[in-house]
Structure 1
Amino acid sequence: MKDEIVVLITGCSTGIGRELCSILFHKGCTVVATARNVETLKDLSASLKLSLNVTQKESIHRTINQVISKFHKIDILINNAGYSLRGALEEIDVNSAKSMFDVNVFGIINMVQAVVPEMRKKRCGKIINIGSISGKFAQPINGTYCASKFAVEALSDTLRLELHSYNIESTVIEPGPMKTNFFNTLVDNSGDLMGNSQSCYSHFYKSDDKYRKKQKQADPKEAAQAISNIILKKRINARYKVTVPFIYSMVTYFPDFLREYFMKKR
């Protein structure tokens, strides 16, 4: 294996995770691709393909043991698994929101708890958390997803503070909207709620549907290429915006009153 960089990526069945596997593999990294259903990884370029559910510790430890047994280390962990729900806070199903947090937030903690001890042994490593520009400002009917990505920001900053003495770095990537299955999954998870014409929030739901249909979405390959360049740097910053539309990037710098005015008008 020489001194190849061993990269473990979660959520590789589609989108950024899948593109990152191919790019990093062709850059010479030893890539461990994971997904809940390993069959979705069949045609993917990777050094090792494993089934992994980030909400189940037994699944995580089984995967980590296989990786360490084969490659003896994990240099980079990319926490990419995640998905979204839409719905007004008054109406959203709390159990569905909890399930999303289990993946988007607690899944990261589960992976960190399993991987950091291995990184500490080598006294080096990088933890890359895939957040979202939605983790920088709240949007109507997207509150639970935004909250989960706000949490990713906090987790990443906490890891930087807790792990710097072990030479383990952490960053959060903040992508904008992309052409992936992300929004299809969103519709599958939230379609019934958002299609309810009797809801007092139906004007929000209709507006959101109309906006998403005309929204400019980036190519996930472009985002994955940018992310691969970032994570292979010798030193990484606390956070990076990737393929974020200019107006969204600007909104993150607005004062509260101006940001709220913009979101209400949108």
Structure 2
Amino acid sequence: MKNEIVILITGCSTGIGRELCNILSQKGCTVVATARNVEALKDLSASLKLSLDVTQKESIHRAVNEVISKFHKIDILINNAGYSLRGALEEIDVNRSKSMFDVNVFGIINMVQAVVPEMRKKRCGKIINIGSISGKFAQPINGTYCASKFAVEALSDTLRLELHSYNIQTTVIEPGPMKTNFFKALVDNSGDVIKNEKSCYSHFYKSDAQYRNKQKRADSKVAAQAISDTILKKRLNARYKVAVPFTYKMVTYFPDFLREYFMKKR
């Protein structure tokens, strides 16, 4: 039935979050689109658009309270907000890494703590965590981002164990590289590190830039369509790979020595 399912999505200003809002709205869901800057949502299809910073509990509770006041429930929470940094562990800015973890990891915990009590009242709900294929295997100069997405895998598994008796399902989506602003933002966030030609890791940075320039990326609309089909299923699996290149899928099944050999050659 139209407008029956209430879906709250974080990080809707660009990329997958934005595409999900449009697609799920077209499917008749009541979509609540959120972003730190609500002005970025003005051209978006959504039933409600709210300012929400996943690192600020006051902002979260204000937004969640408004959703509950207007729609009386939240059926699906999509934790999509996130971003990446590049840099060798020896050189990366620790404070910037902490800020990334605040969004990618602790932002999920903040949202869960605000939304799960409302789902428990209805004894049903779904939590969808947008992870990454980078949460399945580590890559050089991408260690902190990989670590944050490894954490998303663990959080998702933990939530599934803790919430099953309340009929609240949890899954993690593991997308591959897509055509979004993700990589532009990555360079903007990491430029002072990865453009340092005097770095002893400059060969890694140059190789990574060359790889990203020729890398094939999936259409974000197609990926969002696949994600929307998945999250509306009656029963969810523990995890789903979306728009992941065949070689990356294979790497996730390699033994450690073979996976590391592949990454060194790349």
Interval of TM-score (by shorter of Structure 1 and Structure 2)? over 0.9
Instruction: Tell me which residue corresponds to 1:252.
Output: 252
* Mapping for residues 1-266 of structure 1, pairs under 5 Å: 4-266=4-266
1:12/1:3 CA distance change after superposition, 3 Å? closer
- 2:3 & 2:60 partners in 1: Cα distance? 25
Q: What's the offset of the Cα at 1:2?
A: 7.3
- 1:3 & 1:199 partners in 2: Cα distance? 54
- 2:114 & 2:209 partners in 1: Cα distance? 39
1:191/1:24 CA distance change after superposition, 3 Å? same
Q: What's the offset of the Cα at 1:189?
A: 0.5
SS of 2:92's partner is coil
Render the CA deviation track for 1:223-258: whole Å, top value 9, x for unaligned.
100000000000000000000000000000000000
Q: What's the offset of the Cα at 1:121?
A: 0.1
- 1:176 & 1:77 partners in 2: Cα distance? 21
AA at the equivalent of 2:176: G
Render the CA deviation track for 1:90-140: whole Å, top value 9, x for unaligned.
000000000000000000000000000000000000000000000000000
Query: Would you say the 8 A contact 2:9–2:77 is kept in 1?
Result: yes
- Runs of 5+ unmatched residues, structure 2: none
AA at the equivalent of 1:48: L
AA at the equivalent of 1:60: I
AA at the equivalent of 1:235: R
Q: What's the offset of the Cα at 1:192?
A: 1.2
AA at the equivalent of 2:19: E
AA at the equivalent of 1:24: L
TM-score computed with the length of structure 1 as normaliser? 0.99
User: Where do 4+ consecutive residues of structure 1 move more than 2 Å?
Assistant: none
TM-score computed with the length of structure 2 as normaliser? 0.99
SS of 2:87's partner is coil
AA at the equivalent of 2:145: Y
- 1:249 & 1:217 partners in 2: Cα distance? 14
Instruction: Name the count of aligned residue pairs.
Output: 266
AA at the equivalent of 2:251: V
Give the RMSD, CA atoms, in angstroms.
0.9
More deviation in 136-145 or 186-195? Answer: 186-195
